[in-house]
Amino acid sequence: MHDDHERALKALAARGRLRTLTPRRGIDFSSNDYLGLGASPDLADAIAAALARGVPVGAGGSRLLRGNDPEHEALEEDAALFFGAETALYMGGGFAANTAIFATLPQRGDLIVYDDLIHASAHDGMRMSKAGSASAAHNDVAAFAERIAAWRANGGTGRVWIAIESLYSMEGDTAPLADFDALARETDAMLIVDEAHATGVLGPHGRGLASALEGQPHVVSLHTCGKALGVMGALVLGPKTLRDFLVNRARPFIYATAPSPLMAAGVRAALRLSADAPERRDMLMERIALFGRALHAGCGIAPTGTHIQPILLKSDARAVAIARALQERGFDVRAVRPPTVPDGTARLRVSLTLNASAADTTSLVEAIAEAIERHPV
């Protein structure tokens, strides 16, 4: 009955691309819990206090039915103020929220020009969208401008939506946001900025790399709550008209059970921690600098300067073998293979978090150098 599925799985295994679920073990160099908030006493206390004042665990329905809890609305007010946007909309997760943005906001006759390396959720949203779409080379503002100009020259009359990430999840590099903003203004385009991996870590008070652009009528941003903020869900920030449009038209919002009100209370607490406690960000920046120096000295690899560091190994099998060697030494480092990354760019994705100590960080670099030497190209 399932022969086709079995053959497909065997083919993935033969290519070194079969995915399996594995338990957490070893020192954390793979999660997105960059500030170590996920299991922090500060968030645990906030959740306990919310339970004590009667915040429910479950919403019980869509927000358009009975699922709209005061905690959701309080979070949205806090988030709009914190990030400097006109409005915020809280959804159950970053994938659903990003899909909703791309599937709902661009209209028939519009064009979405997106970065080659944008998140998979954006691609899913674009497949559901009535708008056209075109890719542009990674972080190449001129390539985006050429795509827009060619579309206009061919008779395109709708609105352009420029779609980028502020910090790329597999490359660890950042977008030239000021240049993209200038392009959006020059072409009367909307700018969608996915801040998923910058939220909580980068920008003033952890507001993200595009914090200076928030509140502008041509800007929509996504801030996830399950990475550096340590909780779950996602916030879409932008003009009120676009928020209202999502509430009325975004299927991932309309037909989904609302996020847990308890988690909304947790996100509110995480935003307060981000605003009031810069010590965690400062410590992470020190850890990033330490890792970068050690990586360059020990492996000859140029550091990204951010909390995401790819170690390009090209071969799927080599990436898996080196990741396994690191895991056997107690480091939770994972191999990332196509189709998550382009063919021929299999890699380790090292994620720097406060769940690992400074000593752990330097030990990891030593282990990476030894594993690369034992598994040559």
- Catalytic residue selected from 119, 218, 223, 307: 119
Whether 227 is catalytic is: yes
Q: Which two tokens stand for residue 209?
A: 């790399």
| 91 DSSP β-pair partners | 234
> How far apart, in Å, are the Cα atoms of 11 and each of 4, 337, 338, 341?
11, 15, 14, 18
Q: Which two tokens stand for residue 159?
A: 């609105």
- Catalytic residue selected from 72, 218, 223, 227: 227
Q: Residue 19 contacts by C-beta under 8 Å, 6 or more apart in sequence?
A: 12
Residue with tokens 């850890």: 287
Residue 361 contacts residue 352 (beta carbons within 8 Å): yes
Q: How far apart are CA 137 and CA 34, in angstroms?
A: 28
The number of C-alpha atoms within 13 Å of 246 and in the hemisphere containing its C-beta is: 28
Residue with tokens 């009667």: 54
- Catalytic residue selected from 76, 115, 166, 197: 197
> How far apart, in Å, are the Cα atoms of 335 and each of 13, 17, 276, 348, 373?
14, 10, 35, 5, 17
- For residue 308, report the phi and psi dihedrals to the nearest 5 degrees: -120, 120
Q: How far apart are CA 148 and CA 201, in angstroms?
A: 32
Q: How far apart are CA 241 and CA 259, in angstroms?
A: 22
Whether 119 is catalytic is: yes
Whether 194 is catalytic is: yes
The number of C-alpha atoms within 13 Å of 92 and in the hemisphere containing its C-beta is: 21
- Catalytic residue selected from 121, 169, 221, 355: 169
DSSP for residue 216: -
- Catalytic residue selected from 69, 165, 316, 332: 165
- For residue 224, report the phi and psi dihedrals to the nearest 5 degrees: -85, 155
User: What DSSP assignment string belongs to 246-274?
Assistant: HHHH-HHHHTSBPPPHHHHHHHHHHHHHH
- The residue length of the chain stands at 377
Q: How far apart are CA 186 and CA 166, in angstroms?
A: 20
- Catalytic residue selected from 110, 194, 214, 316: 194
- Catalytic residue selected from 32, 121, 139, 351: 32
Query: Annotated catalytic sites, by residue?
Result: 32, 119, 165, 169, 194, 197, 227
